[in-house]
């Protein structure tokens, strides 16, 4: 059996090193189950061409290959041969299993439409997986938000890493959840796009003179319709890039709370403690307790961004139809997507091991004059302009700083707003605008987010 699907016009075998250089098998083996589904649909499309017995033999062989993929035998077999890609490997295995009928599977088909279709099936599967992964993280964050809301835990929120205003820890947790809800929705849009147009039957680039039933293939694979233009279909990687983009964005969403958790786990902050299960030690310093999973998630974002830029670049300037550059796009889409989904899963696992030290976050909530804005707001309510209020409170901050004390009732009284909140708790409970950190508003946001999570979960059971 030749490992190649071509050769009639060649007098000599390819250079082995160049064949190895051009092989994508190591990158695209993960597509094997999707290629089998694609190949089964192609048999359906060939109903006007294949004798029923041949079609039956092909389907039986494809069933065998599917079983071999599941139990690992196919990968072990394929990697001991010099195949150009997983598609050639499956075709070769079908030819081994089905005998003469096996030679008929590739009628009216090119690896070009096969790669495009298989990638879309992969995208649909991984986008659904990504949506579920992101939803799981969001749900976990909202569970934590709910219990933190019950406890009324306070936290100094920062801008520029400087103390800004007191908020509820529940507000921070709910904020972190929003990025994952959006990530899940992004994945959901990719999954829907990946089910619109079926490229199968586009053949190499011009379509086929065989009577292919493209509609039957599209239906069998769960697509809305056959793609419109074969020349476009074989080289279009838009959905594949959108999948990678969705994976990258999910990791970036995870990288932001990761950054905060890394710093919060330091003794200087002491806001959180990670269970042993999510911590690592130093091979030299016996006391160390490092928050590696969150550092690695942060780095996974950087890596995924690089892979995405590379994948997009491989499609830039590629003329219409298929060009071999797109093999690199495929490898990068798969690499980045798998790494992104793994990072998302790692974030969820690590976050489950985070414990907040409420006393510590509350103790720091007023540091850095975080109630200054509340005093200014009270002055504005009493008739001052924003500029006057800002200036007057700023002067009290200077005074308090000189006296080495926080803002307190003396400052409020001196400013003529004795009832203004001067402690973090009063500040938080005084917030009333929609979407604010006021406890009622946080409860509203958690409930709305729960609804969004339920709707997403229902569409990706």
Catalytic residue among 147, 282, 391, 459: 282
Which part of the chain contacts ligand ARG (CB under 6 A), choosing from 100-108, 134-142, 293-301, 320-328?
320-328
Measured from the CB atom, the residue of 205 and 254 that comes closer to ligand ARG is 205
Measured from the CB atom, the residue of 84 and 213 that comes closer to ligand ARG is 84
Q: How far is the CB of 3 from ligand ARG (least distance, A)?
A: 13
Which part of the chain contacts ligand ARG (CB under 6 A), choosing from 98-106, 107-115, 124-132, 293-301?
107-115
- Residue 160 annotated among the catalytic residues of the structure: yes
Measured from the CB atom, the residue of 110 and 153 that comes closer to ligand ARG is 110
For residue 124, give Cα distances in angstroms to 14, 26, 162, 190, 332.
35, 21, 43, 7, 17
- Tell me how far apart the alpha carbons of residues 338 and 326 are, in angstroms, rounded to a whole number: 18
Kindly state whether residue 330 participates in binding ligand ARG, applying the rule CB under 6 A: yes
By CB under 6 A, the residues from 28 to 47 that bind ligand ARG are 28
Measured from the CB atom, the residue of 38 and 326 that comes closer to ligand ARG is 326
Which part of the chain contacts ligand ARG (CB under 6 A), choosing from 68-76, 110-118, 185-193, 333-341?
110-118
Helix (H) or strand (E) holding 226: strand 225-226
Measured from the CB atom, the residue of 115 and 181 that comes closer to ligand ARG is 115
Residue 71 has phi, psi (to 5 degrees) of -95, 5
Residue 283 has phi, psi (to 5 degrees) of -75, -15
Q: How far is the CB of 121 from ligand ARG (least distance, A)?
A: 15
Q: Give the interface size with ligand ARG as a residue count (CB under 6 A).
A: 11
Burial of 276 (0-12, 13-18, 19+ CB in 10 A): exposed
- Tell me how far apart the alpha carbons of residues 163 and 83 are, in angstroms, rounded to a whole number: 59
Out of 83, 271, 322, 356, name the contact with ligand ARG by CB under 6 A.
322
Out of 111, 144, 186, 245, name the contact with ligand ARG by CB under 6 A.
111
Alpha helices in 316-371 (DSSP H): 325-351, 358-364
By CB under 6 A, the residues from 114 to 133 that bind ligand ARG are 115
Kindly state whether residue 85 participates in binding ligand ARG, applying the rule CB under 6 A: yes
Contact 265, 274 (CB under 8 A): yes
Q: How far is the CB of 86 from ligand ARG (least distance, A)?
A: 8
Catalytic residue among 23, 47, 106, 160: 160
Place of tokens 């972190």: 176
Kindly state whether residue 112 participates in binding ligand ARG, applying the rule CB under 6 A: yes
Q: How far is the CB of 111 from ligand ARG (least distance, A)?
A: 4
Q: Kindly give the pairing relationship between strand 225-226 and strand 197-198.
A: parallel
Angle at 386 between CA 382 and CA 392, to 5 degrees: 75
Q: How far is the CB of 85 from ligand ARG (least distance, A)?
A: 4
- Tell me how far apart the alpha carbons of residues 461 and 452 are, in angstroms, rounded to a whole number: 14
Kindly state whether residue 326 participates in binding ligand ARG, applying the rule CB under 6 A: yes
By CB under 6 A, the residues from 9 to 28 that bind ligand ARG are 24, 28
Burial of 412 (0-12, 13-18, 19+ CB in 10 A): buried
For residue 366, give Cα distances in angstroms to 43, 63, 89, 371.
69, 66, 65, 7
Q: How far is the CB of 31 from ligand ARG (least distance, A)?
A: 9
The secondary structure of 362-377, three-state, reads: HHHCCCCCCCHHHHHH
Q: How far is the CB of 284 from ligand ARG (least distance, A)?
A: 46
For residue 28, the 8-state DSSP code is: H
Task: Name the token pair of 65.
Answer: 């290959």
Out of 35, 54, 68, 84, name the contact with ligand ARG by CB under 6 A.
84
- Residue 245 annotated among the catalytic residues of the structure: no
Interaction site with ligand ARG (CB under 6 A): 24, 28, 84-85, 111-112, 115, 322, 326-327, 330
**Residues annotated as catalytic (active site), given as ranges:** 160, 282
């Amino acid at each position: 059996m030749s490992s190649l699907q071509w050769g009639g016009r060649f007098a000599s075998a390819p250079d082995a090193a160049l064949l190895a250089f051009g092989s994508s098998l190591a990158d695209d083996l993960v597509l094997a189950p999707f290629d089998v589904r694609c190949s089964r649909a192609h048999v359906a499309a060939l109903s006007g061409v294949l004798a029923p017995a041949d079609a039956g033999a092909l389907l039986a062989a494809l069933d065998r290959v599917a079983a071999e993929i599941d139990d690992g035998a196919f990968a072990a077999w394929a990697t001991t041969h010099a195949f150009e890609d997983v598609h050639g490997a499956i075709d070769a295995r079908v030819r081994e299993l089905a005998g003469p009928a096996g030679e008929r599977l590739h009628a009216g088909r090119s690896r070009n439409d096969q790669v495009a279709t298989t990638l879309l099936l992969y995208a649909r599967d991984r986008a659904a997986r990504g949506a579920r992964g992101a939803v799981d993280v969001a749900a976990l964050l909202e569970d934590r938000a709910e219990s933190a809301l019950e406890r009324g835990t306070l936290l100094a929120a920062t801008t520029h890493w400087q103390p800004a205003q007191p908020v509820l820890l529940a507000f921070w947790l709910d904020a972190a959840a929003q990025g994952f809800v959006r990530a899940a929705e992004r994945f959901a849009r990719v999954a829907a796009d990946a089910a619109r147009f079926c490229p199968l039957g586009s053949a190499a680039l011009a379509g086929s003179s065989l009577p292919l039933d493209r509609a039957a293939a599209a239906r069998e694979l769960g697509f809305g319709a056959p793609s419109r233009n074969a020349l476009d279909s074989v080289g279009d990687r838009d959905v594949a890039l959108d999948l990678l983009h969705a994976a990258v964005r999910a990791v970036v969403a995870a990288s932001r709370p990761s950054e905060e958790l890394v710093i919060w786990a330091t003794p200087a902050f002491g806001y959180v403690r990670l269970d042993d299960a999510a911590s690592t030690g130093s091979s030299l310093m016996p006391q160390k307790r490092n928050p590696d999973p969150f550092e690695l998630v942060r780095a996974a974002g950087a890596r995924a961004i690089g892979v995405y830029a590379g994948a997009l670049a491989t499609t830039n300037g590629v003329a219409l139809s298929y060009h071999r550059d797109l093999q690199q796009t495929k490898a990068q889409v798969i690499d980045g997507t798998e790494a992104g989904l793994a990072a998302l899963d790692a974030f969820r696992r690590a976050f489950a091991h985070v414990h907040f030290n409420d006393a510590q976050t509350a103790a720091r909530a007023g540091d850095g004059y975080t109630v200054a804005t509340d005093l200014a707001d009270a002055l504005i309510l009493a008739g001052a302009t924003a500029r006057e209020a800002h200036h007057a409170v700023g002067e009290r901050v200077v005074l308090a700083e000189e006296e080495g004390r926080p803002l307190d009732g003396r400052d409020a009284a001196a400013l003529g707003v004795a009832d203004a909140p001067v402690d973090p708790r009063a500040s938080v409970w005084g917030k009333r605008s929609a979407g604010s950190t006021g406890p009622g508003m946080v409860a509203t946001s958690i409930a709305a987010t729960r609804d969004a999570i339920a709707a997403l979960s229902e569409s990706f059971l």
